[in-house]
Amino acid sequence: MLFAVQLFGFFITAIKLVPSVFSEAVSEKSFFFILLPGLQEVVVVIQSQRNSYHARRSEQRKEEILQQAAEEGKGRPVVVLLHELTEYEGDWSILPALPHLFATYGQLASWFIFVEEETRLRLAALLRVLHRYPEHEEWFLGRGLHDDGASIIHHYAFSEDPSSFTYPDPSAGWAVSKPLLKRLAVRLQHESLKSDFTIDLHHEIALYVWEEGNGPKLTAVPEFCSQMRDNCATSFTTFLPDCGEPVPKTDVFVAVKTCHKFHHDRVPVVRATWEKDAGFLEFYSDVSDSSIPTISLGVPNTERGHCGKTFAIMRRFLSGAVPRADWLLIVDDDTLVSLSRLRMLLRCYDSREAVSLGERYGYGLLHKGYSYTTGGGGMVLSRVAVSRLMSSGCSCHSDDAPDDMVIGRCFTSLGVPITHSPLFHQARPDDYSGKLISSQQAISFHKHWNVDPLAVYKHWLKDDLPRDEL
């Protein structure tokens, strides 16, 4: 970069001394691009996943970026598929990957751009954006989101003034300059995170970058877009990809966890909303109730965890006691679901693979921990995944162990990736940025606390189109 600065000084001197000669030798347009950082100084990190569908999609996006770079003729960026960076699955949470990214690419690159596999880049516009920000300074760039109110998933941070703290919209992509990446990489090697849990990735990254005011806040960049507009450097294609006809209703077996005290308030909500869209659905409780009906699996109710009940559900799924299906959806009785959208999404996945799908959380990821599909948003498992899990010997250490975390730890030991979809939600709609979820076609929300669940279902999850009767 020292050479680039010296070269810039040479051109400025040349303009002052011999403007007429210089204007003939270098056109205004070509001089403009001389001053821009080249694409060879940019590392694009696609936040890819190990599941075969997502690996293919991210590889396609990488090829598109490199083809566009060849057509632009302004250098070739480094394009990294995050799931290939190292063997560690926890790299998806970004912070564990930063030291490796800096060590590998920090000598050559000036900017690191992080995008989703469905985020499209316009490289020429991206270079123009980066030109505005001196690369020798610390920069954190993106499309800003903020909480609309106190949010449990953010531990009620900035609840007195939610708009005072912004974090990047993952669909629009975000960028950090090399000086910032270097400082973060050094910090990560010498200090622990305040929490062992990774819940909302991009909010937690923004908090870590900000460092309670010692680091930069997110700088909002209008050219980082979630929807394509003129002059956009990034844009997002879809949260719910079209992979063909939805899987049939009978390919999804739905297991609803409940208990006796919720038979008369939560179960009626399920029956009044999304149960009618299910091909096969059973309610599992601590007591049998023929009026619903519910099925007792011989596992006592627990106030938390429900690991014993969930493992009993998986054993029943594999037995001949229920109709055979390719997919198992396990949800709480206060989870609201769009089964029609879930069936659309499942068409993208191969049920012959071990698939664990939902909203991905992490535990201890900075220290080689494990990922898991959070239970409140719904856990979707292929039959192959359930079979591998149950034959592995993994089990609950107690009936009230956290079922989602135990299953995640088991799958990590088995090498089964936890596949993330932002359409599953562990919390209520009000706990997420309205700018973000209003652009989604959500599959699930969780909790009836301080909301009307019927209204939530009607507004966020109910499809007015005729239902597919497959």
CATH number of the domain that residue 380 is part of: 3.90.550.50
164 and 288 both lie in a single domain: no
CATH number of the domain that residue 75 is part of: 3.90.550
Residue 17, pLDDT score:
38
Residue 465, pLDDT score:
54
- Alpha carbons 390 and 312: distance in angstroms, whole number: 10
Residue 470 resides in a domain: no
Residue 468, pLDDT score:
45
Q: DSSP labels for 355-392? A: -EEE-EEEESGGGT-EEEE-GGG-EEEEHHHHHHHHHT
pLDDT along the chain (470 residues), means of 10: 43 39 37 59 98 98 98 95 96 97 96 97 97 96 96 93 96 98 95 91 97 96 93 95 97 97 96 97 96 94 90 96 97 98 98 98 95 98 98 95 98 97 97 93 96 97 62
Q: Tokens 């293919």 correspond to what residue?
A: 56
- Nearest alpha-carbon partner for 327 in 344, 309, 312: 344
137 and 215 both lie in a single domain: yes
339 and 363 both lie in a single domain: yes
Q: Are 159 and 149 in contact (CB under 8 A)?
A: yes
Helices (H), 397-452: 403-414, 434-437
Residue 297 resides in a domain: yes
Q: Tokens 């960049």 correspond to what residue?
A: 221
Task: Work out the end-to-end distance of the chain between its first and last CA atoms, rounded to an integer number of angstroms.
Answer: 60
Q: How many domains does the chain have?
A: 2
86 and 193 both lie in a single domain: yes
Look at the alpha carbons of 190, 193, 197, 200 in this order and tell me if their dihedral is positive or negative.
Answer: negative
Containing domain of residue 159, as a range?
40-236
